[in-house]
Amino acid sequence: MIHQLGLWAMIIFVSSAFAEAPRALPVDPSDITPENDAVLIDPSPRAAEAKPLPPGEVTLPEVKPNPASDTPEIGALPKGEDAVRLQIFLDQAHFGPGVIDGKPGRFTILAVNAWNEVHGHPSNDLSAVMAAARKAVPNPFALAIVPEVATKWVNTKLSYKKAAQAKEKRMSYRSYGEFMSERYHTDVDFLIELNSQKQVYGLQPSGSLIVPNVKPFLIENLNGSRYDPVELLASRHMVIDTKVNQARIYESTPTALIVADPEGPVQVQANRALVASFPITPGKPQFIKYGLWEMKNAVQLPVWRYDQSLLDTGKRSNNALNIPPGPNSPVGVIWMGLSVSGIGVHGTSDPETIGRSRSAGCIRMANWDATRLPDFIRPGASVEIR
């Protein structure tokens, strides 16, 4: 995917079905409204579901330990099918482990601990979550077919130059392998491990390949809609922890923990207020807007206002381009603007870099995670960046 430039930029809503590259507008994402009524994209035909494969049919390469890894200490991490099974289970339970690749790392551990917290199990305990994963995910792999709708979302000639991108109708995937990797919450490297380099690089519509058996991210269902406030979801609270690179969504603003006997043993209790957690990448320290903010808007398929001066200095210029929407846009396929100017939670063109490289000031998430946020939180909710 394209190199992540970082983001402290302006977003405008898509108000037509990608008819033309829209003009640059002097707008603030905190309070903008569409220029016109949205023209929804016609729904695409439903793609065939992936066919689960029997356990043991897929052989995974041995994962070599990385002495430089920053993975927290936790029991004996699973390997092989069980590693993929655990990641799929956590992903489907809305405790995102990051890229599903059979290599559990820091984000998998954070997801395990979030799941344990909700279910009242000790931190860093793997026994309960692995038992649940083996029951819920008997078949961790599936055989998937590249749907015909992929032709609308793949452009093998998409330029890397911003001036050329501004003339495109959308920021498409650059290959069918990239389309399928994001669809199944993984990366191209893992698809190559499961299949072969020749098969993944030569992939075309109607072709098949082995994928993680996860509920797919259906980009064809996005139509440029904006999300309205919903009372229950607008009353929720999201904590964005820039120290551990995780966003947590709670039913309401968390209350302080009061310990009756500080000298006594700590009793683990289920935290039912935690409803979901996802990996994030925060902005650079000098650009992060710490504090408590309000979510002001949420829109699918945003247009990105590319202003190099704004990215470099924080000062807006008149020399800007509107980069069209799509999965290879630096803001991904969803934008959720906050009440602080120019800052929002959004998708990314580089899911494999989540937690590793920083943007200018916004909060990035993998597209498959970002598109699930409106199921848990809506405009009006409080967002704490800490």
Whether 3 is catalytic is no
- Number of structural domains the chain divides into: 3
Q: Residues 343, 359: one domain?
A: yes
Q: Residues 184, 292: one domain?
A: no
Reduce the DSSP state of residue 250 to 3 states and report it: strand
Average pLDDT across the chain, whole number: 83
Please enumerate in sequence order all residues whose Cβ is within 8 A of that of 94, keeping only pairs 6 or more positions apart, or say none. 275, 276, 277, 372, 376
Q: Residues 16, 108: one domain?
A: no
Q: Residues 303, 341: one domain?
A: yes
Q: Is residue 330 part of a domain?
A: yes
Q: Is residue 59 part of a domain?
A: no
pLDDT mean over 30-44: 38
Q: Residues 227, 217: one domain?
A: no
pLDDT mean over 139-167: 96
Q: Is residue 32 part of a domain?
A: yes
Q: Residues 306, 333: one domain?
A: yes
Q: What percent of the chain has a predicted confidence (pLDDT) above 90? A: 64
Each residue of 60-77: pLDDT tens digit? 877 765 544 555 555 588
CA angle 56, 185, 300 (to 5 degrees): 155
Q: Is residue 50 part of a domain?
A: no
Q: Residues 298, 176: one domain?
A: no
Residue 339: CATH number of its domain? 2.40.440.10
Q: What percent of the chain has a predicted confidence (pLDDT) above 70? A: 76
Q: Residues 309, 332: one domain?
A: yes
Find the domain containing 244 and state its range: 10-41+223-257+271-385
Each residue of 279-338: pLDDT tens digit? 999 987 877 889 999 999 999 999 988 887 666 666 677 788 899 999 999 999 999 999
Pairing of strands 141-145, 246-250: unpaired
Q: Is residue 264 part of a domain?
A: no
Q: Is residue 48 part of a domain?
A: no
- Residue 243 to residues 195, 283, 354, 385: CA-CA distances in angstroms? 36, 11, 13, 10
In whole angstroms, what is the distance from residue 179 CA to residue 328 CA?
Answer: 10
Q: Residues 281, 348: one domain?
A: yes
Give the strands of the sheet with 291-300, arranged side by side: 274-279, 246-250, 237-241, 382-385, 291-300, 334-338, 344-346, 363-364
CA angle 13, 325, 41 (to 5 degrees): 75
Each residue of 109-118: pLDDT tens digit? 999 999 999 9
pLDDT mean over 47-60: 81
Give the ranges where the chain is alpha helix by DSSP (H): 80-92, 106-119, 127-136, 162-165, 176-183, 188-194, 197-201, 231-234, 308-313, 367-370
Whether 346 is catalytic is yes
Q: Is residue 288 part of a domain?
A: yes
Residue whose C-alpha is closest to residue 157's, from 181, 177, 173: 173
DSSP 154: B
The secondary element (H helix, E strand) that includes residue 382 is: strand 382-385
> How high is the pLDDT of residue 335?
96
Instruction: Output the pTM of the full model.
Output: 0.83
Q: Residues 315, 180: one domain?
A: no
Q: Is residue 53 part of a domain?
A: no
Q: Residues 104, 35: one domain?
A: no
Q: Residues 209, 309: one domain?
A: no
Q: Which of 100, 119, 136 is the last residue of a domain?
A: 136
Each residue of 92-107: pLDDT tens digit? 999 999 999 999 999 9
